[in-house]
């Protein structure tokens, strides 16, 4: 299984429009963060977890020419804003509706945002989705065995996805015992780390590090970073050896 970090930035991305802070002015490509998403590739399937506003450029950047489905963590715009841009895959893959794996609580927002995709009489060229409602019941997609895990994201429900020894955990306001028990045995993990201070709807770097330590993972990468986290080079120097900030374009095998 090949994991590629499509985007590693929080909802505004990094640099933030108009910001002159050292992180936003950094020349390090790792400090240019598009909105958070990953791609999972196996011999059988290619799946995106979320499709945010930068989805189109992320697909072009990584040279992706095939997509079998999208797993949705939750309905925030930075995670669904690019769902219209799955159209080229729909068109090139025989006009098959794009499979979307989504919780029932997130679906109304997707239907509102992309109402034209759910009309009885579709305007020509409109995207079509094959909606699969998820809960915490594990499901198989291609050769992936996926375990969705419910998390609290302030007032919303958000899902982490565990696939074997790998887990992707973003947009959570608290690290619950439920989550930690479901993540036991994970060896490779991507966890969100918004910034340095407590936040009402996200966990910060310290919480993410503690989570990775308690799970005894082999390797942890941190994502959904804001410009407040600092420059990648400086943050990595502070972190334990088996942890670092993710960056756009990072790929690794699990």
| Three-state secondary structure call for residue 232 | helix
Distance CA(196)–CA(153), nearest Å, equals 18
Q: Which residue has the tokens 């506003």?
A: 53
CA distances in angstroms from 140 to 44, 71, 101, 193, listed in the order given? 12, 12, 11, 29
Q: Which of 123, 45, 122 is nearest to 89 (CA)?
A: 45
Site string for Zn ion, 198-227 (x = CB under 5 A): -----------------------------x
Candidates 74-82, 94-102, 108-116, 240-248 — which segment interacts with Zn ion by CB under 5 A?
Answer: 74-82
Site string for Zn ion, 112-151 (x = CB under 5 A): ----------------------------------------
> What are the DSSP E strand ranges found in the chain?
2-7, 37-41, 46-49, 69-71, 98-103, 129-134, 139-141, 144-153, 156-163, 166-169, 188-192, 219-223, 243-245, 251-253
| Minimum separation from the CB atom of position 156 to Zn ion (A) | 7
| Minimum separation from the CB atom of position 124 to Zn ion (A) | 33
Residue 14 forms beta bridges with which residues?
Answer: 33
Candidates 15-23, 59-67, 109-117, 123-131 — which segment interacts with Zn ion by CB under 5 A?
Answer: 15-23
171 binds Zn ion (CB under 5 A): yes
Candidates 17-25, 96-104, 131-139, 236-244 — which segment interacts with Zn ion by CB under 5 A?
Answer: 17-25
| Minimum separation from the CB atom of position 77 to Zn ion (A) | 9
Site string for Zn ion, 77-116 (x = CB under 5 A): -x--------------------------------------
21 binds Zn ion (CB under 5 A): yes
Residues that bind Zn ion (CB under 5 A): 16, 19, 21, 24, 76, 78, 171, 227
């Amino acid at each position: 299984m090949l994991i590629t970090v499509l985007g590693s930035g929080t909802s505004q991305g990094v640099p933030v429009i108009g910001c002159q802070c050292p992180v936003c002015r950094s020349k390090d490509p790792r400090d240019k963060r598009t909105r958070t998403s990953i791609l999972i590739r196996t011999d059988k399937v290619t799946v995106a977890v979320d499709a945010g506003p930068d989805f189109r450029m992320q697909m072009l950047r990584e040279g992706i020419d095939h997509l079998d489905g999208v797993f949705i963590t939750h309905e925030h715009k930075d995670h669904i804003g690019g769902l219209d841009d799955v159209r080229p895959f729909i068109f090139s893959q025989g006009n098959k509706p794009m499979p979307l794996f989504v919780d029932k609580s997130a679906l109304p927002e997707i239907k509102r945002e992309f109402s034209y995709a759910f009309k009885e009489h579709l305007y020509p060229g409109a995207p079509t989705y094959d909606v699969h409602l998820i809960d915490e019941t594990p499901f198989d997609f291609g050769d992936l065995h996926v375990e969705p895990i419910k998390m609290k994201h302030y007032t919303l429900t958000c899902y982490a996805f565990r696939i074997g020894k790998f887990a992707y955990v973003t947009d959570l306001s608290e690290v619950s015992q439920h989550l930690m028990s479901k993540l036991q045995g994970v060896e490779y993990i991507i966890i969100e780390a918004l910034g340095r201070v407590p936040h009402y709807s996200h966990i910060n770097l310290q919480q993410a590090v503690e989570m990775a330590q308690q799970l005894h993972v082999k390797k942890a990468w941190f994502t959904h970073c804001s410009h407040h986290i600092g420059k990648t080079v400086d943050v990595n120097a502070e972190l334990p050896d088996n942890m670092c900030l993710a960056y756009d374009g990072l790929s690794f095998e699990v």
